[in-house]
Amino acid sequence: KQEVTQIPAALSVPEGENLVLNCSFTDSAIYNLQWFRQDPGKGLTSLLLIQSSQREQTSGRLNASLDKSSGRSTLYIAASQPGDSATYLCAVKSGGSNYKLTFGKGTLLTVNP
């Protein structure tokens, strides 16, 4: 059974700081890994999708890496801004033909002005 863990559960940083969020998964037989952002009371917004054959993906100030063999992914946020404050979730797609998404519990990020 796939399990996804995100560390830390919460993180508070001053504006402008670079930061790293961590995601680990127990079964390396994944199709892809997706990072999402969730604002309070809202749905999930997709940030980055990394295929199992890729090592990293970049979008603006965000960079996500994937080490499938060790079951780890990191989300790097450069020059953080108060608007980055949200919960960040990672999810892996695996499970044979059912392509089930398994989520971590998320990291609550607060960027202080």
- For another protein, the closer of residues 97 and 113 by Cβ is 97
- For another protein, the closer of residues 36 and 85 by Cβ is 36
Distances (CA, A) of 86 to 53, 79, 110: 28, 15, 7
DSSP, residue by residue, 7-20:
E-SEEEEETT--EE
- For another protein, the closer of residues 43 and 113 by Cβ is 43
- Contact footprint for another protein (CB under 8 A): 31-32, 34, 36, 41-46, 49, 51-52, 89, 91, 93, 97-106
- Minimum distance between the CB of residue 109 and another protein, rounded to whole angstroms? 16
- Minimum distance between the CB of residue 43 and another protein, rounded to whole angstroms? 4
**Three-state secondary structure readout of 68-82:** CCCCEEEEEECCCCH
Q: How many CB atoms lie within 10 A of CB 61?
A: 13
3-class secondary structure, 84: helix
- Minimum distance between the CB of residue 97 and another protein, rounded to whole angstroms? 8
- For another protein, the closer of residues 46 and 58 by Cβ is 46
